[in-house]
Each structure stands twice: as structure tokens, then as C-alpha cells.
Structure 1
């Protein structure tokens, strides 16, 4: 079989569009030139982000046909969030091959190799894998091998709207290393659907990422509006009135995500983490002249609350059991210094039941945070825990009081009452370690009218709404200096009038 003449991808797209009675907009020329430059230049890790309804999947389908026309031995795997979306891409590629004059040499003699989800072109060598195969991201990929993997819209709301789904998506994508040939190419195509998008250019501290998921990928991002001057990059199709209508119909959050390509949730964030103040200071206890002072980052604390919102369940399943502590300084600011998601070890149930394991962790947390008391929410399963918690306190000899609390207000109302005033006034400080955990994720994704994850939010709200606990008057099995009770001052009372 003679080798086909070498043609540019721009020429390939222009000819096909001309046959279909369409023009090739400048935006598409920019994308085609970038894809060809990456392919010719040997870039093998690529990310293409273009705003919604820009025809990026259509162009990528033509890209697949073009590289097959240049090298019929290539094996391409198309992945999408769902099987029907991947099949749509496969049909697009197959249709281009059938109609494009540059692809005549690819048409096979046997039509049984020309299926909806896979097809094999006429090629010099015989391989077990088809020329193109389409799969949903959660489908069975075992045994497949590919020279090119196209990840077309693998991130959609159904795969990215919860932390569990996002982690499952990433695990599936990590498996591609076993499918892609050593010198193979992987191309991600899509738009961000979450602040924690796998397309994010910066690592997310609260996910404890050392680097973004697609670190090292060559990127091309084309938002609808130019970030420099705000002009539309495709004014013929998106005139000002159309842009305005899209913005109004979709809302600002979704417009930023899908049209401006800014990794953000597609809904408006109700509790904005950016309104909190991050800090790194640690607890310091100092005693002098009979007075004990507790400071964090040089700021003196005058009160504190520790709240445990208990729950049972195996790790990563069901509601989370969360304990948190919040300090209040002399200026009236709130300092969220510690927060733990508690889990029990199912392998240790025979020697210590889950309730005892959780109580032990809560006592250790309160002791590390210099807390004089632990408040426990006794709604639901927390009803029988106070006695177990007191036993754990006695065994540890920490001197903490255990105070029972019943919440009568709805969880949503408690969270709003606690956070809204502090966020509006910028008086909530959050320790760096807390910021890097699940608490900030809960804030970004929490919606009052949706079943959102809110266990940490509820525990912190309990701390904020509680009257601060004073150390004076509490029994102490182990002597702990009082950092909350100021030494009385004696002033002279004899004056000459």
C-alpha cells in the first residue's frame, strides 16, 4: 500500500468543511494548528480546553481521522464520561473517514469491522485491537492497548460533583498508564465542572496535592472572552446579545466554569472560604507571676469550645464523625485551630469497639488542643456516648469536663447562623492544617437546599454557637495551668482627697 501524501491538519479540516458547505472559523484554525504542532513536535501529554458549543469534539474527531490517514496502524481509544458520548465521537470519526477524500485508502473491504463502538481501517499490519474503540470511563478497559487515548469530556457533573466521584474518576484515569503504549499520546478535551477540576492548573492545598493532576501536560485554553480585553473570540457565532443571554440563563458560576474555563463549581458558593483568614501559628502556654496565658501566633486567647458531632460507619462510608475546637481571642475573633475526621479501625473491633475507639481519639484531640471541656451532641447515636467519653477522660486523666448538648435547630440553620456573620466580617481564622483537609471542600460544595456533605461544618458551627467554656470551677484530675482566668489585680485604695 503506497503511503498517502502528507497534508496539514488545517488543510484536512478546510477540505472537509468545504465539502459540507461550511467555513472554517479562525478559532478552529487556531485549534488545528496547535494540535498539528503538538503531534509533529512529539508532545505526548496534551490538554485542550475550549468553551462550550465551540465544536471542539468535532475537531478532535477530525483529528483522529487525520492521524489515521497519516498512519493507519494507529490504535485509538476514545473515553468519555458515558458510553453513549464515546460512541458519538466514534461515529463522528467514522463518518469523516467515509466522506473525506483524503481517507479513501482507509475504507476496509469487510464491513463487519465497521461497528458503532469500534472499527478497523485498512492497514498494513494486523493487530488484535481495532483502529478506534470507544468506552465509557467506568467501562471495562482490561486488555486494551492504544497508541492514542482521547479523553473527551470525562469530567462532567455526574463524575465530579462530590469528592468521592472525583477520586473515582482520577483512579480510572490513572489506569490509562497500563493501556497507553510507552510512546503513546493522551489528549484531554473538556471544560471544568468543579473548583477541584482535574484540569486545574494549580494544586489544591486542601486536597494535599503536590502538583495538579495534569501537571506537565501542554495546554491550550481558549475561553469565550479574551482575558486581556474582554472581546469575544468567535463574534460571528456569539455576538454580544447571545453572550449576554447565555450569562443570564446559566448564571455567573456556570458561565465562569463552562464559558470562561475557570475551575469553579457550576453553582454559586454559599459559604466562601476566601473570606476566612489562614494562619500557621501554634498553641503556646506560658506562665509567669502566677498567671498562665495561652497564645496563638502571639494573640492571646480568652475562651475555647470543643465540639464533637459523633457518627458511626466504616471509613469513607456514611456520615463522618467530626471533632473541632475554636478559640476566641481578646479582640473577639474566632480561631478554628483543630478539626479531625474520626474513623474506627474495623480490624480492632474484637479488642476495642468503635465507640471506645472514637472516644479515645476525641480525648486525645482535646488534650492536644488544651481544651477544658468537650461538648458532645447527643442527638441520635450520641445519646449513650457521654458516659463512655467520661470513662475515656478518666483513663487518660486529662481533667476535661464532658458536657451534653441537644441541637433543636435544623442543621442548615445552625450552619448559616454560625458562619454568615463571621465570614461577612472576616473574623474567622483557620489554621493551615485545617485548611488542607476536607473542611474547605465542604464549604465550597455546601448548598442549603441540597443534600451536601456537612459534617465538619456542623461541628464547627457547634463550637461557634456555644457559650465559651471557662476553665475556672472545673475539676482537674491532672493539674493544668489556667490560661483563661486572669490573675486579680489589686489597686491602692487610700488616697488623700
Structure 2
């Protein structure tokens, strides 16, 4: 094999073959980073993880790599595992198309009698074997029974299978199967290619299992960022920074993305999303970066009219709700009350807040928050895709009526009061009357939301209906989920791409916090007055031997 490789540069170096594939596909020459990934693919250790930014072409490079392995040794057995069957079918289709169309690979086209399907196919020179030359499956497919010399996990982590800790645990368990499927050949390998989808990415646990991780970031990281990667950044990146430190913050692959392209994507994804999918930064600098946690909520079935006189929170595991998946970070979970009094009484008030859709793909977020004895209860909170259309306005009016709200607060930052003018008639149409006011928010949104909600959550004074959490999970795009927004917001400007539902909740909570502050101030004034009256009475008793309450100035 070594003699053949010395003679044939295409077989000797995968980068040369990658160049031919790109030319066949009428693509520009591979970029330096694509060549660097290709070189690492060829020479990486037995167990490796390639993390690279979205859009770098990982899946296309992987398909070319599979073809190159078969070109070198048609007896190689390869298993490619993707996040879903659809992705694995796409991979198979693209790989088979390369074999059928490229002159250098056409001798590998399956012969009559050989396997030739989307799930599995043989190459012509392959000897009869239980295992096909190439088999592609989704991570949830039937992995047991497969055998392979090379296992390639191509983007197995996606938003849909890594959103909650339960899903991440399930994914982590599935990939443990890979070691049982690997042959004992010296050249046998397991290769992961992917982009982290959450801060608790399954890729983070692989070094503990003996995997080497190599990371290619979309921008050259600055010195403080470099430390977060624990020596895993590709030498291509770090060497370039050593030669020219001024590269920090600039695009690492200008042929793929310019600096302006990356700025636009950062605005679209939000800072945290961009950090994950373009910078592969899954670090959590400290607990305060994500100050709002699900464990600080109380989950309870909330009645429309009444609530327990007292609820008590506890963070111990026996009060965790295991049937309610958490979208928070590791260890975050939903808690039911440790104690709920048997006495119920009417709510002291009910407020609905509406954050109208501003522009583009924004939602109209809404939340209802009720108050009793200093505890805040959220029976409903969600969002509508529409903004000013009749269906959305009618639905919001019905929510207000069904929840018997006393006050509706509408954020007026967009539209200059137009939403209120359109919405108010719908209250009359559904047969409901209540006070409607507008509120213009000022200051940085993220800080305002956190400053409002964090103290309330830390004191465990916010009770959320279990139905709110369940319905929230049904929202397909996690960026629109209330609980996802709650656990991902930071004080960084633009930390959330979507915040409509969380902003609506914060507006309603803020109203009650301010009301309780006023009540506290009033109570304090009344207490001081009462203490002064008692002191005057004692003074009168001491000096005059009696106290004529009717003559004291405090009672005048």
C-alpha cells in the first residue's frame, strides 16, 4: 500500500482527492481550513472529535472522505451515523452520486447482486461479507448488529435531540454503542464531526472516554477566549495567531465568511447561539452568567379564581417533577411545593401583559400573573405568531376574559399605541371590560428582565402552572419557548434571539413587585404612626395619669 501511495498522490493524501471532488462539483478550491480538516481526518488518532463552525462543509468533506477510504481499500467497512434517517439518506445519496459520477470512482459502482440501497451499499471490488461497504443510519436507528472498521458520527447532535437533559442523556447512551460495533483491526477508528447545539453538548464528555478534540472557530479567538478551549483549538488557528495577534476577532476562513457575514450571523443567532455554533464555545464562565433557573420556580396546578393561603418551596430531589422535561442546564429541574395549605382564598388581583410583535419573525408574547399574599401565580403564558391580525387580537381578548384579569398592560415600544387602539375593541366584542394601560420600557432589555425576575425567583415567589411548562415544550423552535428564554438569558445585549414570551412575563411580574413595594411603604408609614400614637399615650399616662385618645393630635 505504501508503494502505491507514493506513486499515486490522490491515494496518498486526502487533500488531493478533496481538491478533485470540489472541482467535479464545480466548487471553488477548498479553503485552507477545509484542507486542514481533511489533513486531520486522515491523520487523527483512533478516537477523535472534529468540531467546526456551521457552513464549513463538514458533511461534504465527510462524504469525500468515505469515497477516499474506499478508493484506497475497497474492503473497508464504514458506518456513518447521522442525527436522523433523513440526514443519513442525504449522506448516502450524495456519496453514491460521487461514486457514480466521478471517473476516479466509477470502478466502485456496485455490481448486480451486491447491496445497493440508501441504507447500505457495497462497492464492486468488495468481497462477500455480512457488513456492507457503507451503511448509513440515524442515531435512533437499529445500531445493534452492525460492524465497521470506521464509524463516522456526522452531526449526531442537533437541537431536537439535545434540548433537555433527558434527551442529552439518551443521546449519550446511544453513542456508547459505537465501541461495541468497531472491529478489532489496527486501523479501526471512530470519528465525530459536529457543531455543539447546547452549552451541555454531548461532545464535551467525549474526552473523558479517550477522544481527542480538535476545534476550528469561525473567528480567531482572543487570548481570554483561547483559555476556554483547554488546548483543543486547531494549530492552524493558534499558529496564525502567534504569527499575527492582530487577527483576533477576525474571520478565520475569509473565503467562506467575511467579517461582515459573521457579524450578520451573530445578530441573527444571538451572542450565545453564535458562540455555540460558530465559535464552539460551550463554556459557562460562572453561575451568574445564566442567573434564572427553573429549579427556583414552583410548579403547581393553578385555579382561575383561588390559590392556597401558603405554598412552601424545597429544592430537595424528592420534590422534583421527573415527568416534566427540563430545558435548563445540567442539574436544573422543576420542583413541586413541599407544602400546600388546605385553605384557599381568592386572588388579590390579576394582571395580563402583552408584548406586541415588533418586526420580522417576532411573536406577540403574553402572560397572566395573579397575586396572593406576596406570591405570584402564572396560569398562562405563551405567544402568537401574528401581531396585529384579528385572530391574534381576538385570542388575546379571550385569554383576558377567561382569566378574569383586572388590568392589561401593553408594551408600547413599537407602533406608538396602535396595538392598544386595535385591541381594545376586541375586549368589547368578546364581552369583557377591564382597564388597559400602556407601558414604555426603557434601558437595556436583558438587564431589565433579569433585574425584575431574579429576586422573585431567588425568593421562590413565582408559581407557574404545570400546563404552561408542558405547552411550552410543544413549541418546535426552542428559541420561542418561554423556559428556554428564561434559562438562556444573560446580561449581555442580544443574548437572546427571541425574548417575547419572557419579556411579557417580566412586565407582569414587575407590576406586582412595584405594587408590593408600595404596599410595604404604606404599611411602614402606618406602623410608624401607630408606634407614635402608643408612645404619646404612654407619655400622657405618665404625666397626667390618664390618656384622652380623643384629644391627641394623631387622632385629630
Give the TM-score of the pair, scaled to structure 1. Answer: 0.55
Structure-2 change in CA distance of 1:255 and 1:378 (3 Å): farther
Distance 2:195 2:279 in 1: 9
* 1:188 is the counterpart of 2:192: yes
Structure 2: give runs of 5+ residues left out of the alignment. Answer: 6-10, 223-247, 302-310, 323-334, 346-371, 382-445, 461-482, 490-497, 503-515, 517-556
- Please state how far the C-alpha of 1:226 moved relative to its aligned partner: 0.8
Distance 1:132 1:180 in 2: 14
1:366-401 deviation per Cα after TM superposition (whole angstroms, max 9, x unaligned) = xxxxxxxx6659789xxxxxxxxxxxxxxxxxxxxx
Query: Which of 140, 145, 148 does residue 146 from structure 1 map onto?
Result: 148
Structure 1: give runs of 5+ residues left out of the alignment. Answer: 201-210, 266-270, 278-305, 312-321, 326-337, 346-357, 363-373, 381-403, 431-439, 452-464, 466-497
1:312-364 deviation per Cα after TM superposition (whole angstroms, max 9, x unaligned) = xxxxxxxxxx9745xxxxxxxxxxxx53343799xxxxxxxxxxxx99x96xx
* 1:11 is the counterpart of 2:13: no
Distance 2:459 2:221 in 1: 32
* 1:199 is the counterpart of 2:185: no
Match of 2:289 in 1: 274
Alignment of 1:74-93 (within 5 A): 74-93=76-95
* 1:27 is the counterpart of 2:21: no
Question: Are the equivalent residues in 2 in contact too, given 1:9–1:33 (CA < 8 A)?
Answer: yes
Q: What SS is found at the alignment partner of 1:187?
A: strand
Match of 1:159 in 2: 161
- Please state how far the C-alpha of 1:34 moved relative to its aligned partner: 1.0
Structure-2 change in CA distance of 1:412 and 1:146 (3 Å): same
Match of 1:226 in 2: 220
- Please state how far the C-alpha of 1:182 moved relative to its aligned partner: 3.7
- Please state how far the C-alpha of 1:44 moved relative to its aligned partner: 1.4
1:230-281 deviation per Cα after TM superposition (whole angstroms, max 9, x unaligned) = 121211231222222222222222211111112279xxxxx9743769xxxx
Alignment of 1:318-397 (within 5 A): 324=313, 339-342=316-319
Match of 2:441 in 1: none
- Please state how far the C-alpha of 1:197 moved relative to its aligned partner: 0.6
Match of 1:293 in 2: none
Match of 1:409 in 2: 377
* 1:217 is the counterpart of 2:194: no
Query: Which of 36, 47, 50 does residue 42 from structure 2 map onto?
Result: 36
**Which structure's relative contact order is higher, taking Cα pairs within 8 Å and 6+ residues apart?**
1
* 1:239 is the counterpart of 2:282: no
Distance 1:307 1:56 in 2: 40
Question: Are the equivalent residues in 1 in contact too, given 2:154–2:194 (CA < 8 A)?
Answer: yes
Question: Are the equivalent residues in 2 in contact too, given 1:80–1:86 (CA < 8 A)?
Answer: yes
Q: What SS is found at the alignment partner of 1:155?
A: coil
1:180-236 deviation per Cα after TM superposition (whole angstroms, max 9, x unaligned) = 224531111111111111122xxxxxxxxxx65764212221111011311212112
Match of 1:263 in 2: 282
Structure 1 window deviating more from structure 2 (440-449 vs 187-196): it is: 440-449
Distance 1:185 1:224 in 2: 27
1:381-438 deviation per Cα after TM superposition (whole angstroms, max 9, x unaligned) = xxxxxxxxxxxxxxxxxxxxxxx9895631689xx9xx9449879x9699xxxxxxxx
Distance 2:67 2:208 in 1: 25
Distance 2:150 2:250 in 1: 35
Q: What SS is found at the alignment partner of 1:251?
A: helix
Distance 2:62 2:200 in 1: 25
Question: Are the equivalent residues in 1 in contact too, given 2:485–2:499 (CA < 8 A)?
Answer: no
- Please state how far the C-alpha of 1:126 moved relative to its aligned partner: 1.5
1:97-121 deviation per Cα after TM superposition (whole angstroms, max 9, x unaligned) = 2333443442332276322222101
Distance 1:377 1:222 in 2: 58
Question: Are the equivalent residues in 1 in contact too, given 2:207–2:213 (CA < 8 A)?
Answer: no
1:433-462 deviation per Cα after TM superposition (whole angstroms, max 9, x unaligned) = xxxxxxx999735898679xxxxxxxxxxx
Question: Are the equivalent residues in 2 in contact too, given 1:307–1:323 (CA < 8 A)?
Answer: no
* 1:66 is the counterpart of 2:68: yes
Kindly tell me the number of residue pairs found equivalent between the two proteins: 334
Greater helix fraction, Structure 1 or Structure 2: 2
- Please state how far the C-alpha of 1:45 moved relative to its aligned partner: 0.9
Q: What SS is found at the alignment partner of 2:30?
A: coil
Q: Output the aligned Cα RMSD.
A: 4.9
Question: Are the equivalent residues in 2 in contact too, given 1:377–1:405 (CA < 8 A)?
Answer: no
- Please state how far the C-alpha of 1:10 moved relative to its aligned partner: 1.0
Match of 1:298 in 2: none
Distance 1:13 1:76 in 2: 18
Q: What SS is found at the alignment partner of 1:17?
A: helix
Distance 1:273 1:341 in 2: 26
